[in-house]
A and B are shown apart, each in its own frame.
Chain A
């Protein structure tokens, strides 16, 4: 079945350093979503990418969707302690609903 793989599983950085998490799918995706879950919290939607090669920015966060629509990345520039949490990529199970398959997530810790 469809799988979404995400690396690395954990990443620790010093405040101010950059951070990147990568997401790969075994199949071509129609779109991909990214969510953030703070410690003790619930996943919160960050963004959706739809087009091949798409790049979107949200302040210090840059999201990319691969040309083949099989991979995606999230890059955070100059991390802050507020960036701490787990970042998930997610793809739709099928085109018949809103069910999502999530990557295992990358847990980011930041020391000041």
Chain B
């Protein structure tokens, strides 16, 4: 069974640009969450989707957005990139969309903003 797939793995963007990251969850998983990981702030929750609906949102500015498609694949978009957006962006999927289930993480997308 394939794991969580994130594309691309690495990305370099310039300040002011926008970027779209993709996440394909494990087959059958309907819950997808996104996290930002930086050395200073650690793992921070961005948003969670379940059945194409955003169910939870973290404390990030509106430049960060996401969506989920009918096949459970998810994308996140960051507009007007800032240097501080450089981070590892991790996607996690869960089989059951309820608390108490294990989260399976993808390898992440390493975003560098220059």
Contacts and interface: CB of A to CB of B under 8 A. Distances in A.
Same complex for A and B? Answer yes
Contacts of A44: 105
Contacts of B43: 43, 88, 90, 102, 105
B99 interface: yes
Given A31-B100, A42-B105, A43-B90, A99 B55 contact: yes
Given A42-B105, A43-B105, A94-B56, A102 B42 contact: yes
Contact of B48 (A45, A88, A99): A99
A59 B99 CA distance: 26
Interface in A56-112: 88, 90, 92-105
A105 B35 CA distance: 15
Interface residues of B, number: 30
A48 interface: yes
B10 to A, nearest CB: 13
B73 to A, nearest CB: 17
B45 A101 contact: yes
B57 to A, nearest CB: 9
Interface in A24-59: 30-31, 33, 35, 41-45, 48, 50
Nearest to B98: A98
B48 A97 contact: yes
A104 B42 contact: yes
Contacts of A101: 45
B22 interface: no
Interface string B46-59: 01101000011011
A100 B98 contact: no
A99 B100 contact: no
A31 B107 contact: no
B45 A93 contact: yes
Contacts of A33: 102-103
Contacts of B106: 42
Interface of B: 31, 33, 35, 42-45, 47-48, 50, 55-56, 58-59, 90, 92, 94, 96-108
